[in-house]
């Protein structure tokens, strides 16, 4: 399968100025010479402007760049054709290539070939997919770092420590008959503990990155008619939620993605919490209470003009131990003494806001950003890791914990060395040095075609 030549559009099938078609494999150069109007001397890494002709009729004028193996993305002979972005033109060129025996690439096959040819490891390959699918500036920046080897280097540092440790343990096997204690038990336990700490730290940073890439849930809660939906609309800069002076307009959870200071946040507008007027409103309130329980961060909205009511106090009690922002809305129509009295009753830090004028909008965004960054201290040193990587790191933690237990029980060095090899296998599977074929199929099938 890796010996044939593949092609695919790398741009979406929509009308655009330019479209890109990729070719990779041993027949790349032959295919280019076959579709051009006349045979030309194609120099690697030089942009060439030529016409594609089929049966005497022009197909398109294109620019092509040819990359000679191994100096290409895939490590094979490869080319990129830049044509006009009309889907019919792209289809015609693809039909010509198929007629030359160049088959359609499968999802992620270009990157898979790059991995198989040693151009990048599995963490770098997966980072490329993260870049394509990123939904926040933080995710793009973190994925770029991983594409340039940040996670691979972290794994390599741990593997180096494990290899050195295993060498010391195996030296003890070699000198076992001479009763030479190459690595005393206390030092061995310390080494195992240090490695355990390194892996646990990496696992924690991967979990943090996973949460951040999925988006952090922030629930907007409060009693009816305090302006929750207006605040959602203002943050999104669009009319996403219905706004009405009639209490209980929002009956269900409205969930919308939002970026704040480069981070991906999931805003959840909830139904007003108070005594329900009907069964549907009761269901909405129940969902709101569930969202309070499940959301790590809360924005409680209070009405500056009404003072604290029983429903407000009830909600304050429910979120007492939550990470929260207390937002006092409608300050544009409230008297200063009303605002002061309300803040005095709350006795917690509050943010003044007006969903009508936009006053306090930047303060709210900064408060959300600060709330998240205070919770995720390692936000700038985190990694974006999928379930595969997290599972392997969890297995690595179990491996090194088992090593510590074996050392503490003074088990034979042969058994300890075997467990250390299992640990190395788990770490190697993260980077792809050891990876079953079905795992590779699963990873690259999630890529888009043409990447």
Specify the pLDDT at position 146: 94
Q: Any alpha helices (H) in 215-294, and if so which ranges?
A: 228-236, 279-294
Residue extents of the structural domains in the chain: 6-121, 127-211+386-432, 215-379
Confidence of residue 21 (pLDDT cuts 50, 70, 90): very high
Confidence of residue 288 (pLDDT cuts 50, 70, 90): confident
Specify the pLDDT at position 178: 52
Quick one: which of 248, 246, 260 has its CA closest to 212? 260
Q: Measuring CA to CA, how many Å separate 93 from each of 54, 74, 324, 326? A: 9, 21, 56, 59
Q: What are the pLDDT digits (tens) for 190-233?
A: 999 999 999 999 999 999 888 888 888 899 998 888 888 888 88
- For helices 122-133 and 150-174, the axis angle rounded to 10 degrees is 160
Specify the pLDDT at position 63: 96
Spell out the residues 6+ positions from residue 204 whose beta carbon is closer than 8 angstroms to its own: 378
5 in helix, strand or coil? coil
Specify the pLDDT at position 438: 81
Per DSSP (E only), the strands in 323-383 are: 323-329, 350-352
Q: What are the pLDDT digits (tens) for 352-374?
A: 999 889 899 999 999 999 988 88
103 in helix, strand or coil? strand
pLDDT at 82 over 90: yes
Say which range, 141-150, 167-176, 301-310, has the weakest mean pLDDT.
167-176
Q: Find the angle CA(50)-CA(53)-CA(58) to the nearest 5 degrees.
A: 95
* Cα–Cα distance, 273 to 285 (Å, whole number): 5
pLDDT at 179 over 80: no
Say which range, 42-46, 280-284, 302-306, 320-324, has the weakest mean pLDDT.
280-284
pLDDT at 180 over 60: no
Confidence of residue 241 (pLDDT cuts 50, 70, 90): very low
Confidence of residue 239 (pLDDT cuts 50, 70, 90): low
Say which range, 2-16, 335-349, 391-405, has the weakest mean pLDDT.
335-349
The 8-class DSSP code of residue 257 comes to: E
The class (CATH top level) of 215-379 is alpha beta
Element (H, E) at 216: strand 216-221
What percent of the chain lies above the pLDDT cut of 70? Answer: 92
Confidence of residue 173 (pLDDT cuts 50, 70, 90): low
Mean pLDDT for the chain?
Answer: 88
Confidence of residue 2 (pLDDT cuts 50, 70, 90): low
Specify the pLDDT at position 252: 64
Within 10 Å of residue 398's Cβ, how many Cβ atoms? Answer: 15
pLDDT top residue among 211 and 278? 211
Quick one: which of 378, 339, 375, 383 has its CA closest to 218? 375
pLDDT at 251 over 60: no
CATH topology classification for 127-211+386-432: 1.20.120
Q: Distance of alpha carbon 167 from its chain centroid, rounded?
A: 36
Specify the pLDDT at position 415: 92
Say which range, 181-185, 233-237, 356-360, has the weakest mean pLDDT.
181-185
Structure tokens at 52: 């594609």
* Region 441-448 average pLDDT: 88
Q: Are 67 and 44 in contact (CB under 8 A)?
A: yes
The 8-class DSSP code of residue 36 comes to: B
The 8-class DSSP code of residue 239 comes to: -
* Cα–Cα distance, 434 to 287 (Å, whole number): 46
Q: What are the pLDDT digits (tens) for 31-40?
A: 999 998 767 7
Q: What is the dihedral of CA 154, 159, 161, 167, to 10 degrees?
A: -170
pLDDT at 181 over 80: no
ω into residue 275 within 30 of 0, thus cis? no
Element (H, E) at 63: strand 57-67
Structure tokens at 94: 């693809």
pLDDT at 242 over 50: no
Specify the pLDDT at position 211: 84
* Cα–Cα distance, 240 to 35 (Å, whole number): 50
pLDDT at 240 over 50: yes
Confidence of residue 123 (pLDDT cuts 50, 70, 90): very high
> Helices (H), strands (E): how many in the chain?
15, 12
What is 6-121's CATH superfamily?
Probable tRNA modification gtpase trme; domain 1 (3.30.1360.120)
Q: Are 411 and 370 in contact (CB under 8 A)?
A: no
- HSE of 340, CA atoms in CB hemisphere, 13 A: 3
Q: What are the pLDDT digits (tens) for 321-333?
A: 889 999 999 999 9
Specify the pLDDT at position 152: 95
């Amino acid at each position: 399968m890796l010996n044939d030549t593949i092609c695919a559009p790398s741009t979406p099938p929509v009308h655009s100025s330019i479209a890109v078609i990729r070719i990779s494999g041993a027949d790349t150069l032959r295919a280019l010479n076959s579709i051009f109007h006349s045979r030309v001397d194609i120099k690697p890494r030089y942009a060439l402007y030529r016409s594609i002709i089929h049966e005497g009729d022009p197909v398109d004028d294109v620019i092509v760049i040819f990359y000679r193996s191994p100096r290409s993305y895939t490590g094979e002979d490869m080319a990129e054709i830049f044509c006009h972005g009309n889907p019919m033109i792209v289809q015609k060129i693809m039909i010509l290539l198929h007629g030359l025996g160049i088959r359609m690439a499968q999802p992620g096959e270009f990157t898979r070939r790059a991995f198989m040819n040693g151009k990048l490891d599995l963490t770098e390959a997966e980072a490329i997919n993260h870049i394509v699918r990123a939904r926040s500036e933080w995710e793009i920046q973190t994925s770029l770092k991983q594409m340039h080897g940040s996670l691979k280097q972290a794994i390599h540092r741990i593997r180096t420590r494990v290899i050195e440790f295993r060498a010391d343990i195996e030296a003890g096997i070699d000198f076992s008959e001479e009763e030479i204690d190459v690595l005393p038990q206390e030092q061995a336990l310390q080494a195992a503990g240090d490695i355990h700490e390194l892996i646990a730290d990496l696992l924690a940073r991967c979990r943090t990155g996973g949460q951040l890439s999925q988006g952090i849930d922030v629930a907007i809660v409060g009693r009816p008619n305090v302006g929750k939906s207006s605040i959602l609309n203002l943050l999104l800069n669009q009319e996403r939620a219905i706004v009405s002076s009639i209490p209980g307009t929002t009956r269900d959870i409205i969930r919308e993605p939002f970026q704040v200071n480069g981070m991906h946040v999931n805003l959840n507008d909830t139904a007003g919490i108070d005594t329900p007027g009907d069964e549907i409103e009761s269901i909405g309130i129940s969902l709101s209470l569930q969202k309070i329980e499940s959301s790590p961060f809360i924005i409680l909205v209070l009405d500056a003009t009404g003072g604290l009511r029983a429903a407000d106090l009830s909600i304050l009690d429910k979120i007492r131990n939550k990470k929260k922002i207390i937002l006092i809305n409608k300050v544009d129509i409230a008297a200063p003494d009303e605002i002061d009295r309300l803040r005095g009753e709350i006795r917690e830090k509050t943010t003044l806001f007006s969903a009508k004028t936009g006053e306090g909008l930047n303060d709210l965004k900064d408060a959300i950003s600060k709330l998240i960054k205070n919770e995720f201290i390692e936000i700038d040193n985190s990694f974006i890791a999928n379930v595969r990587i997290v599972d392997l790191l969890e297995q690595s933690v179990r491996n090194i914990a088992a090593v510590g237990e074996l050392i503490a029980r003074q088990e034979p060095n042969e058994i300890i060395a075997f467990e250390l090899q299992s640990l190395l296998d788990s770490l190697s599977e993260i980077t792809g040095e050891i990876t079953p074929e079905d795992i590779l199929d699963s990873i690259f099938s999630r890529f888009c075609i043409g990447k």
